[in-house]
Amino acid sequence: MSKGMVRGAVLPLRTLWSPAAAVDDVLVHPAVATASLVILGAVFGALALPRLLGLLDGALPPTGQALLDAHLGALRVGLTRLLVLERLVLPLGFLAGGSILWLVAAPALSGRGVRAGAVAAVLAAGLAPLLVQRAGELAVVLASPTAALAAGDIARLPARFNVGLAGALAAWGVAAPGWLGVAAEAVNVIGVWVVALWGWSLSRLDRDAGRRERAGSGVWWWVGAAAAYAAGWALYAALYPTLLLLVMGAP
């Protein structure tokens, strides 16, 4: 592996403490940096899966009743698919928000000579705080007590790390239903961190492309990042029941 590829592979981590240097480098290694983010996120998630699946088996033991065991078996398969999807794929609300922001920012910056791929790369680098979230979720899962949990509690166990509204609800023992739970998941410190990186990175791209400086000119990129983030999570919340049905299967 070349030195350049190594630098690209560690860019998601560098973004956490040195976003200015990372934005410069991510434009040189956009594909490697993006792939590294996806892989690191999947690795952290995969490390939590054995523990989660073990807890799931303990929560749904065989009963000896054929009909009930068939129902529990179907539930176990559905929850396993859900856990695998949630641990191996970056949170879909963040991905939806980034995609919406890219659809707006790429055409706006293309007239200034900024490639759409460069916009996508810096937005992907802005998702680096999700690695902190994944690491925190892994710690919460591994440190959870071995006492049996209900199947639904196991699916929500990683969310206890959520430094925001969802985490507070979990700490209080409140299970927010449906779209409200998705909305609570969006309101957290990691989301604010991502939005800040998105707004700062896009304003940096705009400035470097030769935009004439004027007071408050970069503020609109921050506003756009926040709006796209909210829109992405709203879209995810609206589609969540359908997605859950597709992943879990019909009862």
Q: How many domains does the chain have?
A: 1
Query: Domain range holding 102?
Result: 3-248
Q: What is the Cα–Cα distance from 176 to 185, expressed in whole angstroms?
A: 10
pLDDT for 206-238, tens place per residue?
A: 887 765 554 455 788 999 999 999 999 989 988
pLDDT for 11-59, tens place per residue?
A: 777 788 778 777 777 777 788 888 888 999 999 999 999 999 988 888 7
- Please answer whether residues 75 and 151 qualify as being in contact, where contact means their C-beta atoms are separated by less than 8 angstroms: yes
pLDDT for 137-175, tens place per residue?
A: 999 898 877 666 777 778 888 877 876 665 566 666 666
Contacts 24+ apart (CB under 8 A), 241-248: 241/178, 241/179, 243/92, 244/82, 247/78, 247/81, 247/82, 247/85, 248/78, 248/79, 248/81, 248/82
- DSSP string of 187-240? SBHHHHHHHHHHHHHHHHHHHHTTPPP-TTTTHHHHHHHHHHHHHHHHHHHHHH
Structure-derived torsion over alpha carbons of residues 23, 25, 110, 97, reported in degrees to the nearest 10: -50
Is the CA virtual torsion 33, 118, 210, 101 positive or negative? negative
Q: Which two tokens stand for residue 249?
A: 């299967």
- Please answer whether residues 127 and 94 qualify as being in contact, where contact means their C-beta atoms are separated by less than 8 angstroms: yes
Identify the pLDDT of residue 161: 81
pLDDT for 234-245, tens place per residue?
A: 899 888 888 888
- pTM (2 d.p.): 0.85
203 backbone dihedrals φ, ψ, rounded to 5°: -65, -35
- Please answer whether residues 228 and 123 qualify as being in contact, where contact means their C-beta atoms are separated by less than 8 angstroms: no
